[in-house]
Amino acid sequence: MSLVLEGVSKKVGATVHIDDVNLTLQRGSLNVLLGATLAGKTSLMRLMAGLDAPTSGRVLVEGQDVTGWPVQRRSVAMVYQQFINYPSLDVYENIASPLRVSRVPAQEIETRVREAAKLLKLEPYLDRKPLNLSGGQQQRTAIARALVKRADLVLLDEPLANLDYKLREELREELPRVFAASGAIFVYATTEPTEALLLGGNTATLFQGRVTQFGPTPQVYRHPTDLTTARVFSDPPLNTLQVHIKGGSATLSTGGQIRAVGPLAAVPDGDYTVGFRAHHLMLEPGASDEIAIPAIVSVAEITGSESYVHLDASDHRLVALVPGVRRLEPKSAVTASIDPRHLFLFDSAGRLAAADPAQKAA
C-alpha cells in the first residue's frame, strides 16, 4: 500500500490548518510528523484517516483517489495521546473489541489477540482490567487494539506524551520493533526532536500547517534545507546569529571579525543568518580557527549528566548543552566557542546557503 497526499490543504473559515502538503508514504514505513503544538500534526492525520475532507487536493491509496471516502471505508487504526480503553473489559477483550464489531471468527480473534499481546509484552496481563494496569501497560493495550485490526495505515498521535519518563523511554525502544513486524504504514506525531531521532524512519517537519522537509530522519536532522526546518528539529532551540561576509572576513552580530572559514567561506559576500545547535557551543576558548563569543551567564540548569547554560551575548540569548555538572554563577563572564564546521548558513529568505557536508548528528 502507498499513501499519497497531492497538494492537500485544509481551511476552516479564513484559517489555514494545512497548507499545500505533498507526501508519499510507502508500505512498511515509519513516518514521524515533527512539529510544535498547533503545527498541524493532528489535522494532517485526520485528513489521512478520512475523518476530515481536504478543502483542496487529493488523497490517494494505491493510486486510487479516496479523497471523499469516509473513515469507515478505509483500512485505518488510530491511537491517541489519551490512552482510551474500556474500563469494564479486561485487556484481552479490549484488544479483541474491534474484531468482534467486525464479526471476525472466534479462532481468528484468538490468534490475532495472542499475536498482538506477545508483540507488546501484554501476555501476563490479558485477564486484568485497565484500572489495574500501569500507564505504560494501558497505552500498550491501546496500541495492541490498533495493531490487531491489521489496518494498512496506523496513526499514533503523540501516544507517549502522558506517560512518565521511564515508561516513555521503555516504549520508545520497543515501538520500532513493533512497527517493523507489522508491515503497515505508521505515522507517528511528536513535538520532540529527540523522539523523532530515537524512532528513526522518515520525518516530516511541520510549521504552521506546512511540511517544510521530508526524508530519512538522520538526513533531515543533519541537512535541514531551511532555517524553519532547522528550528523545528532542534531542542534546545537553535542558536542563531547574524553575520556579514565580505572579502574573506566575517563579522558576527555579537561583535568581532574573523576569517571566513568552513561554510562562511562557501558563499558570496552578503548578510546571512548562522544557526548552530546547543551541543556544539563550547564554554571554553577553542582552536584558532574557531569562533569566540564573549557572553554573560544568565542561568545554568543542571540535569545530572548534562548542564544547560543560558548565555547573553550582546542582544542574543544563546544556550549551550555541555556534559557534566557546570556550576556557573549568574552574571559571570565566559568565552564560548563554536567550530565553523558546525554552522548552518541561511540566506535572507531562510534557505540553506551552506553547511559542512561532513556535519555529524553527534
More confident residue, 19 or 254: 19
Is residue 360 in some structural domain?
no
Q: How confident is the model at residue 362 (pLDDT cuts 50, 70, 90)?
A: very low
Q: Of 171, 192, 224, which closes a domain?
A: 224
Residues 68 and 163 placed together within one structural domain of the fold = yes
Q: How confident is the model at residue 41 (pLDDT cuts 50, 70, 90)?
A: very high
Q: How confident is the model at residue 135 (pLDDT cuts 50, 70, 90)?
A: confident
The predicted pLDDT at position 287 comes to 67
Residue whose C-alpha cell reads 544563546 in the numeric block:
318
Work out the angle between the directed axes of helices 165-182 and 135-148 (0-180°, nearest 10).
20
Residues 215 and 333 placed together within one structural domain of the fold = no
Residues 187 and 257 placed together within one structural domain of the fold = no
Is residue 276 in some structural domain?
yes
Residues 152 and 241 placed together within one structural domain of the fold = no
The predicted pLDDT at position 159 comes to 86
The predicted pLDDT at position 125 comes to 95
Q: Of 163, 197, 224, which closes a domain?
A: 224
Is residue 76 in some structural domain?
yes
pLDDT of 143-177, one tens digit each? Answer: 889 889 888 999 999 988 777 777 778 778 877 87
Residues 204 and 285 placed together within one structural domain of the fold = no
The predicted pLDDT at position 310 comes to 95
Instruction: Go through the chain and tell me how many residues it has.
Output: 362
Which residues neighbour 56 within 8 Å (Cβ) at sequence distance 6 or greater? 7, 8, 9
Count of other CB atoms within 10 angstroms of residue 162: 15
More confident residue, 170 or 253: 253
Work out the angle between the directed axes of helices 106-119 and 91-101 (0-180°, nearest 10).
130
Cα dihedral sign, 275-280-282-285:
negative
For the full predicted model, state whether its pTM sits above 0.95: no
pLDDT of 171-216, one tens digit each? Answer: 788 778 777 777 789 999 999 999 999 999 999 999 999 999 999 9
Q: Reduce the DSSP state of residue 198 to 3 states and report it.
A: helix
Of 145, 176, 140, nearest to 159 (Cα)? 140
| Proportion of the chain above pLDDT 70, given as a percent | 97
pLDDT of 55-107, one tens digit each? Answer: 999 999 999 999 989 888 899 999 887 778 899 999 999 999 999 998 999 99
Contact 321, 308 (CB under 8 A): yes
Specify the CATH number for the domain of residue 252. Answer: 2.40.50.140
Q: Which long-range contacts (CB under 8 A, 24 or more apart) does 63-71 make?
A: 63/2, 63/4
| Residues pairing with 309 in the sheet | 300, 320
Residue 251 has pLDDT above 70, yes or no: yes
Q: Which domain holds residue 339?
A: 236-355
- The mean pLDDT of 296-315, rounded to a whole number, is 91
Is residue 168 in some structural domain?
yes
Rounded-to-integer distance, Cα 250 and Cα 108, Å? 68
Is residue 34 in some structural domain?
yes
Q: How many domains does the chain have?
A: 2
Of 268, 201, 206, 192, nearest to 234 (Cα)? 192
The predicted pLDDT at position 343 comes to 92
Is residue 309 in some structural domain?
yes
Residues 186 and 302 placed together within one structural domain of the fold = no
Residues 247 and 214 placed together within one structural domain of the fold = no
Q: Write phi, then psi, for 222 (nearest 5 degrees).
A: -80, -30
Residues 116 and 212 placed together within one structural domain of the fold = yes
Q: How confident is the model at residue 298 (pLDDT cuts 50, 70, 90)?
A: very high
Contact 28, 22 (CB under 8 A): no
Mean pLDDT lowest among 17-26, 126-135, 157-166, 305-314: 157-166
Residues 198 and 250 placed together within one structural domain of the fold = no
Cell of 114: 495472542
Specify the CATH number for the domain of residue 203. Answer: 3.40.50.300
Rounded-to-integer distance, Cα 116 and Cα 103, Å? 18
User: What is the overall mean pLDDT for the chain?
Assistant: 90
- The mean pLDDT of 339-344, rounded to a whole number, is 90
Our CA angle for 243, 248, 253, nearest 5°, is: 15
Residues 268 and 214 placed together within one structural domain of the fold = no
Residue 4 has pLDDT above 90, yes or no: yes
Q: Of 197, 224, 251, which closes a domain?
A: 224
The predicted pLDDT at position 6 comes to 97
Residues 98 and 180 placed together within one structural domain of the fold = yes
Cell of 68: 471523499
Residues 296 and 348 placed together within one structural domain of the fold = yes
The predicted pLDDT at position 361 comes to 45
Is residue 231 in some structural domain?
no
The predicted pLDDT at position 358 comes to 58
Of 215, 184, 187, 217, nearest to 200 (Cα)? 217
Is residue 275 in some structural domain?
yes
